[in-house]
Amino acid sequence: MRYNFNAYVKRFKKCHMKAIKTKISEGGRVVIPSEYRKQLGLEVGDEIMIQLVDGEMRICSLEEAVKRAQGIVRRYIPQGR
């Protein structure tokens, strides 16, 4: 998949949030700051998707991952079906 800079900028502007420094705890745990969880609509117990892309770890809700997958599949289905 090619990197789409314009899409990245659009998403960045939409959820422009400062970077937050944190540490990895025992067992590899990382706390997702509350303002980030709110922006993503994540609650305790929710499943998330973690992806490594170009040396970055990206986290999204399972719902968002499904929407993206549906968008990709939709490109290959003829219109009107």
Residues 18-64: tens digit of each pLDDT: 788 889 999 999 999 898 898 888 999 999 999 999 999 989 888 88
Is residue 3 over pLDDT 80?
Answer: no
* pLDDT value of residue 1: 47
CB 17 within 8 A of CB 26: no
CATH of 5-74, one of 3.40.1710.10, 2.10.260.10, 3.10.129.10, 1.10.357.10: 2.10.260.10
pLDDT value, residue 39: 86
- Spatial separation of the C-alpha atoms in residues 15 and 79, rounded to whole Å: 32
The more confident residue out of 30 and 79 is 30
**Rounded CA gap, 19 and 62, in Å?**
23
CA atoms of 44 and 47, how far apart (whole Å): 9
**Is residue 2 scored above 50 in pLDDT?**
yes
